[in-house]
């Protein structure tokens, strides 16, 4: 644990200590902290620090679900049953409006002072966590899709960071031809019917300057542009830039293949950086660069923002204590701790430029601009249906069981009724 991060963390925790001290009634809080990628090990350290200065609070941690979909399924089962066993839970950025509509979370306005409490956070997170004018949840840490690339290979072939998808495709082909390695992929994306495939559909579309929905959540899909984006991916498959079974590629597969030195460019989430740098079997240590995602010629760079939020269960029997813990977990001190200890992206812009953070995680200087310019997946009270329609159909288009025109028309038809 880094000394300065720990010091600021303890200072914040002291500020939240119950005035009744040791004479207050013991409270037990159970927190669902997601799966491995949400770093429950670091969350446990945060909970331990909180308990030291709030000795009347005992925090139990629950983990599970390797993916956002599995975690959502589990929480849906627990919360639909109005089970009070979980007091606080970690949810994806796309879930606050869905959970608020279902009556599953406790609005936090009475505890945090209303929407003004969201001012320190990056706009995409403050917007996602305020639903119908009420604070639905508080940001835990950010995430975004980044373009990772092999710095050593770009240097070797005199290639600058590509600004357009066409430039990236040409750069990948040049590297593949020069390396003469049949196992070297030019670009890896996620084409399996998982949550990442929602972003696979949106990335080229957004990079044309197109919007999937308006501020009210109503769908504004440009079907021709969306089909063009999927055609672009398939063209890369035909050119050999992407592997032919791209429709089967998952998030871990991209990470593992890039880590093994089998990929020149890879789109993946922020957690992948530590895997490339720290894993004992990484073949790319010291060889990895991070850059903004390319755009379609004439468009603009755009990335898919993820990230996690702390919500208090509507069925908790200890809501005030749970809300107090959430405030601590969403504080600048906690954000700094997670950044320095686990390279978890901050939701507060000032943390990106904190001297201690920059020294520990130098790539955050570049990451900040990518996250700030990122876009959120569609915010909808029926996000489960939105996600299912996009990710399963995107995978089918990449598998060529549906043409881009057919797939986009199906997405449009299914979601026109959902996103009104």
pLDDT in tens, 73-131: 899 999 999 999 999 999 999 999 999 999 999 999 999 999 999 999 999 999 999 99
In CATH, the number for domain 3-136+306-372 is 3.40.190.10
Q: Is the pLDDT of residue 19 over 50?
A: no
Residue 269 banded pLDDT, cuts 50, 70, 90 = very high
| Mean of per-residue pLDDT scores for the chain | 92
Q: In the CATH scheme, what is the homologous superfamily, with its name and number, of domain 144-303+378-416?
A: Periplasmic binding protein-like II (3.40.190.10)
Beta-carbon-side half-sphere exposure of residue 154 (alpha carbons within 13 Å): 22
**pLDDT category of residue 22 using cuts at 50, 70 and 90:** very low
| Residue range 231-249, pLDDT digits in tens | 999 999 999 999 999 999 9
CATH 3.40.190.10 occupies which residues in the chain?
3-136+306-372, 144-303+378-416
* pLDDT at residue 197 tops 90: yes
CA–CA distance, 309 with 122 (Å, rounded to integer) = 13
Q: pLDDT band at residue 10, thresholds of 50, 70 and 90?
A: low
Tell me which DSSP letter residue 95 carries. -
Task: Single out the residue of 7, 322, 294 nearest to residue 161, CA to CA.
Answer: 294
Predicted TM-score (pTM) of the model is 0.84
Mean pLDDT of all residues in 56-83: 91
Instruction: State the pLDDT at residue 21.
Output: 46
Give 7: exposed, middle or buried? Use CB within 10 Å, 0-12, 13-18, 19+: exposed
The stretch 4-8 carries a mean pLDDT of: 60
Helix axes 383-398, 68-80, angle to 10 degrees: 150
Q: So what's the pLDDT on residue 16?
A: 54
What is the pLDDT at residue 20?
A: 44
For residues 195 and 35, is the Cβ–Cβ distance under 8 A? no
Q: What is the mean pLDDT of residues 297-303?
A: 93
């Amino acid at each position: 644990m880094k000394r300065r991060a720990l010091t600021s963390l303890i200072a914040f925790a002291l500020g939240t200590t119950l005035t009744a001290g040791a004479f207050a009634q013991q409270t037990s809080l159970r927190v669902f902290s997601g799966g491995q990628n949400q770093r429950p090990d670091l969350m446990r350290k945060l909970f331990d620090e909180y308990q030291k200065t709030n000795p009347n609070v005992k925090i139990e941690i629950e983990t599970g679900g390797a993916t956002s979909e599995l975690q959502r399924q589990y929480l849906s089962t627990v919360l639909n049953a109005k089970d009070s066993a979980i007091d606080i839970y970690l949810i994806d950025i796309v879930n606050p409006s869905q959970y608020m509509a279902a009556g599953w979370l406790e609005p936090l306005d009475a505890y945090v002072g209303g929407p003004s409490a969201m001012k320190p956070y990056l706009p995409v997170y403050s917007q996602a966590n305020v639903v119908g004018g009420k604070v639905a949840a508080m940001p835990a840490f950010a995430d975004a899709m980044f373009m990772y690339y092999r710095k050593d290979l770009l240097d070797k072939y005199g290639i600058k960071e590509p600004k357009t998808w066409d430039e990236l495709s040409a750069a990948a082909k040049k590297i593949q031809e020069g390396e003469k390695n049949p196992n070297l992929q030019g670009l890896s994306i996620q084409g399996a019917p998982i949550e990442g495939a929602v972003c696979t559909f949106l990335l080229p579309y957004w990079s044309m300057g197109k919007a999937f929905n308006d501020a009210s959540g109503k769908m504004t899909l440009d079907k021709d542009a969306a089909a063009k984006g999927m055609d672009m991916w398939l063209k890369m498959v035909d050119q050999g830039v992407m592997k032919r079974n791209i429709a089967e590629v998952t998030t871990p597969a991209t990470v593992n293949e890039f880590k093994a030195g089998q990929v020149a460019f890879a789109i993946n989430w922020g957690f992948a950086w530590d895997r490339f740098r720290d894993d004992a079997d990484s073949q790319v240590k010291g060889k990895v660069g991070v850059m903004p995602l390319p755009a379609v010629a004439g468009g603009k760079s755009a990335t898919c923002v993820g990230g996690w939020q702390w919500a208090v269960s509507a069925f908790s029997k200890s809501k005030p204590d749970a809300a107090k813990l959430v405030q601590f977990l969403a504080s600048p001190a906690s954000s700094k701790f997670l950044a320095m200890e686990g390279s978890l992206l901050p939701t507060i812009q000032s943390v990106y430029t904190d001297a201690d953070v920059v020294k520990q995680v130098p790539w955050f200087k570049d990451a900040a601009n990518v996250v700030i310019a990122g876009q959120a997946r569609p915010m909808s009270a029926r996000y489960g249906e939105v996600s299912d329609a996009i990710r399963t159909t995107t995978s089918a288009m990449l598998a060529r069981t549906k043409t881009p025109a057919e797939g986009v028309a199906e997405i449009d038809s299914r979601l026109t009724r959902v996103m009104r």
